[in-house]
Amino acid sequence: MEQIGNMIGWETVKMIVGLVGVLAFVVFNALILTWAERKVAGHMQRRIGPKEVGPYGLIQPIADALKLLGKEILTPRGVDKPLYYLAPMIIFVPVLVSFIVIPFSASLQVMDINVGILVILAFSSLSVFSILMAGWGSNNKYALIGAIRSIAQNIAYEIPLLLALLSIIMMTNSFSLKTIVEAQKGLWFVVYQPLAFLIYFIAAVAETNRTPFDLPEAESELVAGYHTEYSGMRFALFFLAEYTNVFIVSAIAVTFFLGGYQGPFLPGIVWFLLKSYLLVFVIMWLRWTYPRVRFDQLLNISWKALIPLAFINLLVTGGLLKL
Amino acid sequence: MTVSPSAFIRGTGSLLAGLGVTIRAMFQPVVTCQYPRQLLNISPRFRGHTKLLADRENPGKNGCIACGICAKNCPSGSISNIEGEKREGEKRKTATSYTLDYTTCSQCGICVESCPSDCLAFSADFNAAGYKKEDFHYDLVKEFEKRKKTS
């Protein structure tokens, strides 16, 4: 072990172990979240949800995954092949990269990069690129409309998201996620920055293309939006990416506003996962409560409400910090 | 998009109220019936296929006297093959076969109403399934015997 470590460097070994761990977590998280989403949806509509496969239907996601694996991977005629094939792979890259910098606990973090949050935000803009590739490459009007909507939406909501996080970065003078968590030893930043938290949370729901901002995949209008033409495991990759993104935005919210892995009694990782999944539950709760917004409303909320509010919040934060 | 402050507060309130509705629903008991595992109570006026009832004086045998009035009255011609025999010491015939073609039956109930010995009724059988048409040609006498055995 020592020799292997010396040969390729401990950093590399750590990265590989981290990557395998992250992959395992991504899949496990998606399995749990699909189950949880269906259970939450069921009970909010006073149904039971999955219950046949395993106790409380817990093995249902595995059955679904096997079903998707067994399905034929169709490639429709007339698709732009390179784009069509690459899109589901590219959507998965930012998801993996984001996990590298998230501090799960004081010691459990693959890498503490001093521009951690920039890495996450830069890579998560890649997923828009992949959605555009999927939409354009599918040669399908529903997919294209979905992709175009998604781009308009993601550009609009990236700005308030960044501005909301920026006010925290101004307070801590650091882009490193670990430093930001450590700075919340006393009071969580949600106390200082409730407005930023709210703006971040709304923008995050929109960034992950979830109801009430799920216009890119609005099933009642666009079949399935940008992944209409995908089947089998290619579709599963989009699905996996969506659920992992939900977790990532919740994890960032926890890191920036809710004190990250810090909390009394329980170990850091437990606190971190507890808070993250609580936020994930809130996102599901929103999905099963609100109807989809109209497209003009969607853009209005961002450009005319969230962005000005985020700027004002930033100005006030800056002013108060100077005092 | 100009929103007055009062409209904004009202809107926020309604959003929160909506969240309240769903979270309360989440902790209330489910209202669905888990069909193959549980069954709902079937209303007494439910109309399944017809069944023969037992004779009033002699519950051991069916009450059909094989008169054929139901077959004559049936608007769809679904009832056929009514045969009966006169048993020792009885005044009337007793049916030995009675075929109902359930695929053409419209559950109108004319047979039930016209039966002179009041021995026809609707069953509560709602989940009949089969692979071919003939699976729904019921011999009601046989069904009656089967029911007698199981009860």
In a domain, B5, yes or no: no
Number of domains in chain B: 1
**Each residue's pLDDT tens digit, B35-73:** 888 888 888 888 888 888 888 888 888 888 888 898 899
Domain for residue B12, yes or no? no
Residue B67: inside a domain? yes
> In three state form, how does the secondary structure of B22-84 look?
HHHHHHCCCCCCCCCCCCCCCCCCCCCCEEECECCCCCCCECCCCCCHHHHHCCCCCEEEEEE
Contact: A46, B19; criterion CB under 8 Å: no
Model ipTM?
0.70
Task: Please give the mean pLDDT across all residues of chain B.
Answer: 87
Let me know if residue B79 belongs to a domain: yes
d(C-alpha B44, C-alpha B40), whole Å: 12
DSSP code for A51? -
Residue of chain B minimizing CA distance to A286: B19
pLDDT (tens digit, 0 to 9) for every residue of chain A, 323 residues total?
566 656 667 777 777 887 888 888 888 888 899 899 999 988 888 888 888 887 888 888 888 888 888 888 888 888 888 888 888 888 888 888 888 888 887 777 777 778 888 888 888 888 888 888 888 888 888 888 888 888 888 888 888 988 988 888 888 888 888 888 888 887 888 888 888 899 999 999 988 888 788 877 777 777 777 778 888 788 888 888 888 889 999 998 998 888 878 878 878 788 888 889 999 999 999 988 888 888 888 888 888 888 998 999 989 988 888 87
Contact criterion met (CB below 8 Å) for A298 and A153: yes
Percentages helix, strand, coil for chain B (3-state, rounded to 5) are: 30, 20, 50
Residue A104 phi/psi, 5-degree rounding, is -75, -35
Residue type for A307, please? I
Nearest CA in chain A to B29: A46
The answer to whether residue A72 is domain-embedded is: no
CATH code where residue B110 lies: 3.30.70.3270
The angle that helices A194-207 and A307-322 make with each other, rounded to 10 degrees, is 140
pLDDT exceeds cutoff 90 at B131: yes
Cis peptide before A103 (omega within 30 of 0): no
Q: Are A193 and A257 in contact (CB under 8 A)?
A: yes
Tell me whether residue A41 is in a domain: no
Prediction pTM value: 0.79
Burial profile A142-155: b = 16 or more Cβ within 10 angstroms, e = fewer: bbbbbbbbbbbbbe
Q: Return the residue in B16, B22, B28, B33 with the most chain A beta carbons within 10 A, the one to mutate for interface testing.
A: B22
Which residue is closest to A41 within chain B, CA to CA? B26
Which of A290, A300, A305 faces B18 most closely, judged by CB atoms? A290
Q: How many domains does chain A have?
A: 1
DSSP state of B117: T
List chain A residues with CB under 8 Å of B1. 300, 304-305
C-alpha distances out from residue B66 to A167, B4, B56, B62, B99, Å: 91, 81, 16, 10, 12
CA nearest to B124, candidates B11, B21, B48: B48
Nearest to B32 among A44, A47, A288 (CB): A47
Give the domain extent around B107. 50-150
- B22: nearest CB among A44, A47, A304: A44
* Residue A106 covered by a domain: yes
Q: Is B3 part of a structural domain of the chain? A: no
Inside any domain, residue B11: no
CB contact under 8 A, A289 and B19: yes
Whether A189 maps to a domain, the answer reads: yes
The answer to whether residue A57 sits within a structural domain is no
Which of B14, B26, B28, B38 would best serve as a mutation to test chain A binding (most A beta carbons within 10 A)?
A: B26
Q: Is residue A266 part of a domain?
A: yes
**Partner-chain residue, chosen from A48, A289, A305, that has the shortest CB–CB distance to B30:** A48
